[in-house]
Structure 1
Amino acid sequence: MEYSSTYQTTVAYAPFMELQNEYGQGFYYREGAFYPDGTQDRTVTNWGPKFDGTLHPAPWNPDTLVPYIAKPDNWKTFYNNGRYVNNNITLSGGSEKANYRISYSNTEDKGVLPNNKLKRNAVDMKFSGEMNKVFSVDMGVNYANTKVYNVWNQSRYFWTGGQNLGFNVYYVPRNTDFEQWHNTYRNPDNSTKPQPFTIGSGQGNAIVGGFSAMDKNNRVNTQNSLLAYLQLNAKVTPWLDLSAKGNINYYNQQFEEKDYGNGKDNSGGYYGTGGSYTTNYDVLFMAHATKKVNDFNFDLRLLNEYYGNLKGETYGAHTNGGLKVPNQFFLGNSVQDLGTTSSINYGISYPSLGTVSIAGDFNINYKDYLNLEITGRNDWLSTLTYPVNVPGMNNYSIFYPSFNLSYAFSDHLRSKLPEWLTFGKLRASLAYVGNDGVAGAYSTGAGYGPGVLVNINGQSVPTASILNGNVKPNYDLRPQKQRSIELGTNLAFFKNLFDIDFAWYKTNTFNQLLHLPGVPETGYNTLYINAGNIQNTGYELLLNVNPIRSKDWGLTMSVNIGHNAGKVVNFYHSNSGDITDWTIAGNYEGVETHAYEGGAFGVLVSRGSNFYLILKQGFLSLKTTVG
């Protein structure tokens, strides 16, 4: 039996970004000056005078006078210290013919954001044993139950409701005392007070919404995952063995959200519940043969694999218009009838992904110093199937090989090499990897699928819906393919006093799937295309020094140096048009990530009205636009 326990503490000791604490609230067009009566503009900007400690109305409460000073630690109101605790117990045992291992772990993780925590219980069981001289079996089950409480959406999009606590700190005057504001933001009747200033584009409740979420809201996400596998092995001959393995992965997720109202006596409010489940499977058959002929060792593996998904469901419902009785959380307490709103959703996902594969791995070794490995795999992808007599009718099949060659010249030429060269090996590889480019089911064209409507009585009525009706069909989508080339060497000197591992690589990714926005007049809002040749080149150097080596202990020092350069060789060129610039992420009042043909992949861009500020290799450059 083994037992282990881990305890960690996370201390939020500094703000998430550098903040100035010299100037306070004020508008720039008035040079930030106070009005004659000592009041200030109700603004989030910090163009006011330097802090001097004089009394002025508080930014969060104009009826209260407070010293005009910075609050450098006001961010701490939204953050607390985290704590991680994990306990694990394991039982294991066995004999020459059978072995087992059972483990249980309990995890509690308190986050640095208010009321955010995670609880997980997991059980893992494994068993292996010989049935007779030919057959043996391996099996295992892993189950985990996880509950996550009050996840805060920290993306830029969610700041308007107070979810992004980082933006709450950034978008307020530096003389704001969050702690005092938090203690007084509700009236005696439990309703929230109006926020005295707006943030950004008229968002007047971001801070108050954050306080309310800290104190009143409660969202629990429960996840259950089950992974089970069974493998049967057969030792047919001393040089041939067979195996068959199947595994299934079931995942279920449920959520429940209780939001207290911000009106008088907590009027308003919200309750929602729902969930989903998915199931994936994988079946693998393998034959493995080994043979030694004179100085050659041969190793061959043949594989046949099937994997995909099974039926899944998504369901949910929430109140609409608030709660009839405050602080009572159930669907029947909805102000508006759920049957006459869009407050109920239900969907079925039928098996939609399936892949059939055959593969082989052939290895030839000569005297343990020369090794050649050749692999090949062919996938047939259900996501890229087309009807006959269209350009992409054969695109569902993709073959990708690989070749790996290594030569330990120190073992081959030992007598001809100096003694200070302990070991030396050269290696080279060429590999191709293919997939469907995350095309997803039904990406090749429109179709029909089952759907559900809710009638006026709240009853579910089966119906049919159009799949991808807003996507323009592309009848020649191709699988994505990646080509990798690597050259390297391993060298050891002076009886392994120090050793070097060096590798140079070049990787090109072709036919990446891009989603283009469509022109509304065409009747479509999306178009899928294959595009791109993204190239990455670089090197990695690892140096290990072993100055102290004894029977009982040793000392190893390592230095790792690497460099990678990404380049967009091309995006998309056709008779219908060219694409040379692609927005990877962003485009919501913030920095965007772009890729430019001929430039690096993943360039940070800040957009202005007629210019771009481009961060390239650590430096800002200006790119003007026309219009």
Structure 2
Amino acid sequence: MKSKNLFSTKGFFTLLLSVFAFSISAQNVTVSGTVTDDTGLEVIGATVIVAGDASRGTVTDFDGKYTLNNVPSNGSLQISYVGMVTQTIPVNGRTTIDVVLTSDSELLDEVVVTALGIKRDKKALGYAIQEVKGDDIIAAREVNVANALSGKVSGLQVIRSGNGPGGSSKIVIRGNNSVTNLNQPLIVVDGVPMDNFTGAKNNDYWNPSADMGNGLSDINPEDIESMSVLKGASAAALYGSRAGNGVILITTKTGRKNDGLGITVSSSVSAETIFMNPKLQSTYGQGSDGAYDALSSSSWGPEITGQEYTKWNGEKARMTVYDNLNAYFNKPGINLTDNIAFSQQYNNVSVYTSLGRTDDWSKIPGADLSRTNMTARATTKFGANDRWSTDTKVQYVKTNAQNRPVGGRNASNPFFTMYAFPRSLDILDFSNPVDDAGKMVWYQKTSPQINPYWLSKYRLSNDVRERFLMSGTLKYQFTEWLTGEIRGGTDMYFTQYDNKTYGGSPLTDTGRYSFGQDKFFENNYTALFTAQKDNVFGNWGLGGSLGGNLMHRKKTGISGGPDELLVRDLFTFGNAKNNVNAEREYNEKKINSVFGTAQLNYGGYFFLDGTFRNDWSSTLHPDNRSFFYPSISTSLVISDMINTQGKGMPSWFTYAKVRASFAQVGNDLDPYQLYNTYWIGKDPENNATAGTNNTLFDPGVRSELISSWEAGTELRFFNNRLGFDFAWYKSNARRQLLNLPMDPLSGYGSRKINAGNIQNQGIELMINARPVETKDFAWNMQANISTNRNTIVELTDDVKLYSLGGYDNLQVYATAGGNYGEIYGSKFKRVTDKNSPHYGKLIVDANGLPNGTPEKEKVGDQQADMLIGVTNSFQYKGLSFSFLIDSRIGGEMFSGTNFYLQGAGTAAITAPGGKRDEFIVDGVYLDANNQYQVNTTKVTQQEYWNRVTGDTGNLGISEANIYNATNIRVRNVQLNYDFNRTLLKNTPFTRLRMGVSVNNALM
């Protein structure tokens, strides 16, 4: 339920302003009236001022009425409201003036926030920028702001983890530009960059660490006014080396004039369920080779027919299949989010404060997260003619997480245990996880699986993060066309975490303990002068800006702990059985920058912009520290040009614009990657040890360089009821910072070099439409469609495959002459002779089983062919309904989950039709004469799947578990009802909304 502007007292704010009214002169009058919209509804909170004197004004009350004293009888009133056309009306001695404000369908799109927080007319921009309104962010009901962008911005992909509301999400805009960097966009909040750390420190399939979330999730969605996505290099060039992967600008709310006290309260509660479980077989029990084995962790045992058997603990029972997933994950996850905000403006002072609280109790037992957000922001204008202005803001975030989920094939991941849990074994037998001797209760004494009930109570982790985002701006208006400002901001957070593993399990006899602390800060100081004046020389207008920035970032940390405790379950460093392992982290980086822009426009329809930025980075050698980034862009508003010349556009053709741009940006190094250093450690005997790092660094490396071209057009028809925004782009990222493999005998595994060229080329199409619009009913639709080909033009002469990650015999590569993200692994051996009648058939061995290729081959490509997001919203009077269809078309993925279930015999595919009859693999074998013969040898399901999941490496024959990654999801389904304002007249509410929403409703 959401309500706005609580405790409203009709006329309160009008009376408050009247106290400070100027004395009445003989020529002044009192004017009153009613402000309505073009549908006849009263407009609450419209601003009514004396034109030219903002100090004399008021806002309309609950009934849309206003009264304004001391109005010059020969003056004018200016009436304004967000999303409506501002009107200026002469008083002419009248005392009653009623006003009808009309909707401005173009207004919200006309002015957008661009680089450095500069607001520009959207029609003047020669590059693509897409804005998402704060109301749309809130409506998504996502704890992580990043997830709210899914499907709403063309060319932007949100890659979510499966670790619930506290999990991380990665944002990629127009493909990957680097093989060594994270390819994440720069996040800027109210002009100040923030650190968007992402995910777990180690994402290895076999031994992943906990997902610590990402920095963007610390932002309270209720505080957001808008988010602008700067996609191409031209849009982001003013941010220099930090903007190689795009920029997301977040503008938060400021105080506004509101009727009543201006208090907004919102509250939501949601339930989390498992969206989709893997398909499991339900006819075969625990054991191997068709025989029951109480100690087996597999389900290759006998067919379940209700026969009597002896359980793991010696008890007799009837064999049956158990729904262990629903038995263990038997409660829905609950998320409760509350927010209260105060927004008000008093003359030249505006204040916005908010307090938000999120509590999430995960569906995974023992995992929960709480987050508290506090924001305070104030803006002022002062001095002669209000030339001075300030904007100060403080945000505080505290996140406390217990037992963050861990993915992959890890003992701390309950899904690892539950998905492969023997089908005839009852998980509830282990719900009391510790016996009288303090040992973990489990059906095996030594097992890679851990009792999940024991995990939730005796393998505990906790992390607490406190974060401050602070900024302050002082601005001076020299003239109507020249301003200067200085801005300072800091992002700092402190994280403390500890991990406790109790004794009495296969993991440890006496227990383990680790503890750590991280501290991070980034300071930014900016000075900026901006000029803008139209009609300087006839119809020619000029504009520009010049500024500089100082960035200083530093991160320190220490972590460690005993591998084994001396005294069981005494969690202190002094209780170490052996040495205490300790690691210290320290890195520091500075970037000094100067930047500028130059703008030329003619007649308000032709625009030419140029920008430059020069960075000096501390992470590069003094000879290479300085790097220069230029951009140029142009736009022509054809419709305005034609209308200006008096020719006129057809009535059905509302707006037409073309644009083009070129820019260069780049990526520099992380700290301490120029010179070779030594690591220091200790051996088991507590003796000091040292060694070289694995990478041989080169102090002569330079920054990566990204060159980008873009062209596009914007078209609107039928009085803005149908609109298109089309963009084509191409970027090439050269001088990649690669780790070139070296001979291990050299003492190094790789060396850092500049080489390579990564290309992204694609198209984007945005469609906005209002197919139906009547007095009571409206249907709005927005579609975002994009394609991108992320190719590797070249790497080096010595390297054709560059590893981006992988596990054992499965690797993801950037392939020279191929694509970024190609999947390589083992394939089924097949007949490759195209002249053979058996071409393409599997080749089996003497036992009738398939084999995998010994060398890795391409088995898939991660890249999607197309991303599509379509939002439909319908409104009938006070009832509204909307939903988002978010689609990824094409690409492939490897399923480690299915691979694991197949080997354990729990996957439904291991018992086709519920049976495990012997079968013949459709293939051929080589006879004694080296001729292919049709296979006739029968094999069991266990023999087949043991071969598929165990041949050629720990991940088996990769091809068997490569799947089409196409998916179509229905997200953000919402049904809301806004109560009629007339029903709220005698209540403390000025607006009341109730609704329900569902995320990830269908796939």
Tell me the TM-score range normalised by the shorter chain: 0.7 to 0.9
Name the CA shift for 1:372/1:552 in 2 (closer, same or farther; >3 Å).
farther
Cα distance, 1:108 vs structure 2:
0.7
Cross-structure match for 1:382: 618
Determine helix, strand or coil for the equivalent of 1:487: strand
Question: Is 1:342 aligned to 2:562, yes or no?
Answer: no
Cross-structure match for 2:630: 401
User: Which has more strand, going by share of residues?
Assistant: 1
Q: Could you tell me how far apart the structure 2 residues matched to 1:164 and 1:623 are?
A: 23
Q: Could you tell me how far apart the structure 2 residues matched to 1:135 and 1:497 are?
A: 41
Name the CA shift for 1:209/1:70 in 2 (closer, same or farther; >3 Å).
closer
Contact preservation (8 Å) 2:442, 2:451? no
Name the CA shift for 1:73/1:277 in 2 (closer, same or farther; >3 Å).
same
Question: Is 1:304 aligned to 2:562, yes or no?
Answer: no
Cα distance, 1:555 vs structure 2:
2.2
Cα distance, 1:447 vs structure 2:
5.0
Determine helix, strand or coil for the equivalent of 2:470: strand
Cross-structure match for 1:84: 335
Contact preservation (8 Å) 1:195, 1:207? no
Cα distance, 1:26 vs structure 2:
4.3
Cα distance, 1:464 vs structure 2:
13
Contact preservation (8 Å) 1:244, 1:284? yes
Question: In the alignment, residue 33 of structure 1 is paired with which amino acid?
Answer: G
Q: Could you tell me how far apart the structure 2 residues matched to 1:522 and 1:599 are?
A: 30
Cross-structure match for 2:405: 152
Contact preservation (8 Å) 1:614, 1:620? no
Determine helix, strand or coil for the equivalent of 2:373: strand
Query: Could you give the per-residue CA deviations for residues 486-524 of structure 1, whole angstroms, max 9, x where no partner exists?
Result: 221122223334222222222222222223444332122
Contact preservation (8 Å) 1:611, 1:623? no
Contact preservation (8 Å) 1:382, 1:396? yes
Task: Point out which structure has higher relative CO (alpha carbons under 8 A, 6+ apart).
Answer: 2
Question: In the alignment, residue 443 of structure 1 is paired with which amino acid?
Answer: Q
Q: Could you tell me how far apart the structure 2 residues matched to 1:81 and 1:341 are?
A: 43
Contact preservation (8 Å) 1:320, 1:343? yes
Question: Is 1:258 aligned to 2:500, yes or no?
Answer: yes
Question: Is 1:502 aligned to 2:726, yes or no?
Answer: yes
Name the CA shift for 1:583/1:559 in 2 (closer, same or farther; >3 Å).
same
Cross-structure match for 2:901: none
Determine helix, strand or coil for the equivalent of 1:535: strand
Q: Could you tell me how far apart the structure 1 residues matched to 2:495 and 2:761 are?
A: 41
Q: Could you tell me how far apart the structure 2 residues matched to 1:72 and 1:224 are?
A: 41
Cα distance, 1:288 vs structure 2:
0.6
Question: Is 1:427 aligned to 2:659, yes or no?
Answer: yes
Question: In the alignment, residue 306 of structure 2 is paired with which amino acid?
Answer: G
Cross-structure match for 1:604: 823
Cross-structure match for 1:171: 420
Determine helix, strand or coil for the equivalent of 1:179: helix
Q: Could you tell me how far apart the structure 2 residues matched to 1:67 and 1:263 are?
A: 29
Moved more, 472-481 or 440-449: 440-449
Query: Could you give the per-residue CA deviations for residues 7-61 of structure 1, whole angstroms, max 9, x where no partner exists?
Result: 111122642x33333433444xxxx232xxxx43854444444433323344xx1
Cα distance, 1:209 vs structure 2:
5.2
Question: In the alignment, residue 445 of structure 1 is paired with which amino acid?
Answer: Y
Cross-structure match for 2:284: 23
Q: Could you tell me how far apart the structure 1 residues matched to 2:505 and 2:716 are?
A: 73
Question: Is 1:12 aligned to 2:263, yes or no?
Answer: no
Cα distance, 1:254 vs structure 2:
0.7
Moved more, 130-139 or 564-573: 130-139
Q: Could you tell me how far apart the structure 2 residues matched to 1:585 and 1:243 are?
A: 45
TM-score w.r.t. length of structure 2 = 0.53
Determine helix, strand or coil for the equivalent of 1:208: coil
Give the % identical residues: 26
Cross-structure match for 2:489: 247
Cα distance, 1:359 vs structure 2:
0.9
Query: Could you give the per-residue CA deviations for residues 210-236 of structure 1, whole angstroms, max 9, x where no partner exists?
Result: 442212232210111112222211222
Cross-structure match for 2:440: 192
Query: Could you give the per-residue CA deviations for residues 540-593 of structure 1, whole angstroms, max 9, x where no partner exists?
Result: 2233332333567632233433222221111122xxxx111122121246x432
Contact preservation (8 Å) 2:825, 2:958? no
Cα distance, 1:94 vs structure 2:
3.2
Name the CA shift for 1:114/1:605 in 2 (closer, same or farther; >3 Å).
farther
Name the CA shift for 1:76/1:398 in 2 (closer, same or farther; >3 Å).
farther
Cross-structure match for 1:592: 811
Cross-structure match for 1:291: 533
Name the CA shift for 1:148/1:23 in 2 (closer, same or farther; >3 Å).
same
Q: Could you tell me how far apart the structure 2 residues matched to 1:379 and 1:300 are?
A: 19
Cα distance, 1:275 vs structure 2:
0.8
Contact preservation (8 Å) 1:78, 1:165? no
Cα distance, 1:322 vs structure 2:
1.9
Name the CA shift for 1:80/1:514 in 2 (closer, same or farther; >3 Å).
farther
Name the CA shift for 1:512/1:75 in 2 (closer, same or farther; >3 Å).
farther
Name the CA shift for 1:75/1:474 in 2 (closer, same or farther; >3 Å).
farther
In the alignment, which of 650, 669, 685 is matched to residue 418 of structure 1? 650
Determine helix, strand or coil for the equivalent of 2:431: helix
Determine helix, strand or coil for the equivalent of 2:344: strand
Query: Could you give the per-residue CA deviations for residues 242-276 of structure 1, whole angstroms, max 9, x where no partner exists?
Result: 11111122211111333322169x96123333312
TM-align CA RMSD: 3.4
Name the CA shift for 1:507/1:64 in 2 (closer, same or farther; >3 Å).
farther
In the alignment, which of 762, 765, 768 is matched to residue 544 of structure 1? 768
* 1:418-567 → structure 2 map (5 Å cutoff): 418-436=650-668, 439-446=669-676, 469-550=693-774, 554-567=778-791
Cross-structure match for 1:142: 395
Q: Could you tell me how far apart the structure 2 residues matched to 1:362 and 1:532 are?
A: 33
Cross-structure match for 1:132: 383
Cross-structure match for 2:3: none
Contact preservation (8 Å) 1:190, 1:263? no
Name the CA shift for 1:44/1:514 in 2 (closer, same or farther; >3 Å).
farther
Cross-structure match for 1:390: none
Determine helix, strand or coil for the equivalent of 1:212: helix
Determine helix, strand or coil for the equivalent of 1:610: coil
Determine helix, strand or coil for the equivalent of 2:306: coil
Contact preservation (8 Å) 2:416, 2:449? no
Cα distance, 1:306 vs structure 2:
0.9
Name the CA shift for 1:495/1:315 in 2 (closer, same or farther; >3 Å).
closer
Contact preservation (8 Å) 1:516, 1:527? yes
Question: In the alignment, residue 153 of structure 1 is paired with which amino acid?
Answer: V
Cross-structure match for 1:200: none
Question: Is 1:221 aligned to 2:472, yes or no?
Answer: no
Cα distance, 1:307 vs structure 2:
0.3
Cα distance, 1:184 vs structure 2:
5.8
Name the CA shift for 1:559/1:242 in 2 (closer, same or farther; >3 Å).
closer
Consecutive unaligned residues of structure 1, counting only runs of 5 or more, are 198-203, 387-392
Contact preservation (8 Å) 1:139, 1:231? yes
Cross-structure match for 2:367: 116
Q: Could you tell me how far apart the structure 2 residues matched to 1:48 and 1:263 are?
A: 26
Question: In the alignment, residue 282 of structure 1 is paired with which amino acid?
Answer: N
Name the CA shift for 1:405/1:90 in 2 (closer, same or farther; >3 Å).
same
Query: Could you give the per-residue CA deviations for residues 76-127 of structure 1, whole angstroms, max 9, x where no partner exists?
Result: 5157421111111122333232222221111111122221111122211112
Query: Could you give the per-residue CA deviations for residues 382-411 of structure 1, whole angstroms, max 9, x where no partner exists?
Result: 11124xxxxxx3x22221212221111122
Name the CA shift for 1:475/1:6 in 2 (closer, same or farther; >3 Å).
same
Q: Could you tell me how far apart the structure 2 residues matched to 1:515 and 1:317 are?
A: 29
Contact preservation (8 Å) 1:604, 1:615? yes
